[in-house]
Structure 1
Amino acid sequence: MEFCPTCGILLQFELPYMGRPARFFCPTCPYVSHMESKVKIKRRQHLVKKEIEPIFSKEDMKNAPTTEATCPKCRFGKAAFQQIQIRSADEPMSTFYKCLNEHCGEQWRED
């Protein structure tokens, strides 16, 4: 998006017409900005992959309530759970589970 440097209004785009190059123009004042025929990339921004935070921290596991839920990975019958509202208020809460089998630790959710 480009804005007019004189009045601050969003510039409109006009396609090339009868030999005139493409341009941005201001609908309220006489400002016009002609576009170059070649686009130059000034710098590239490398995205940094963020680490995903776990649903259950070590402190949460100490006080987390448990329930009889079957782990989809190891079929163990107990899991810790936590309910979190991740969508709008009129939607039901999401329940996150963590398997209590010390060799598994699988996490899953039910909406």
Structure 2
Amino acid sequence: MEFCPTCGNMLLYELPHMERPARFYCPTCPYVCQIESKVKIKRHLRLVKKPIDPIFSEDDRKNLNKTTGVNCPDCNHGEASFTQVQTRSADEPMTVFYTCTKCNRTWTEN
């Protein structure tokens, strides 16, 4: 798909006619783009992933609420810090993120 650099509309394809080669044209403005008969090979560049900062920093985790009603799935420790975040639509329940105070494993509960 090609778009008009002037107005941004999608260009339409026009078949070749007599001596005129095939071309793209804009239906709303006079822009015309000639189609070259040569094939252009575009080189694909690899995207570099940027480092992702954690949502909750270590200082935030130290100040989170503590609970003793859950057990860690890894070490079975009975105390964890938690926070609630609305990750889905407003009519869905909040997601609870738990972090074990002993091994720092994080798990969720809907």
TM-score of the pair, normalised by structure 2:
0.71
> Deviation at 1:92?
1.8
Which residue matches 2:10? 11
Which residue matches 1:27? 27
TM-score of the pair, normalised by structure 1:
0.71
1:37-87 superposed Cα distances (whole Å, 9 cap, x missing partner) = 31243x755423222333432222332111221212222221100011223
Which residue matches 1:60? 60
Provide structure 1 residue ranges, at least 5 long, that are not aligned to the other structure: none
How much is the aligned-residue C-alpha RMSD, in angstroms?
Answer: 2.8
Contact 1:9 1:26 in 2 (8 A): no
- Aligned in 2, Cα 1:77/1:4: closer, same or farther, shift over 3 Å? same
Provide structure 2 residue ranges, at least 5 long, that are not aligned to the other structure: none
Which residue matches 1:110? 109
> Deviation at 1:22?
4.9
Q: Percent identity?
A: 45
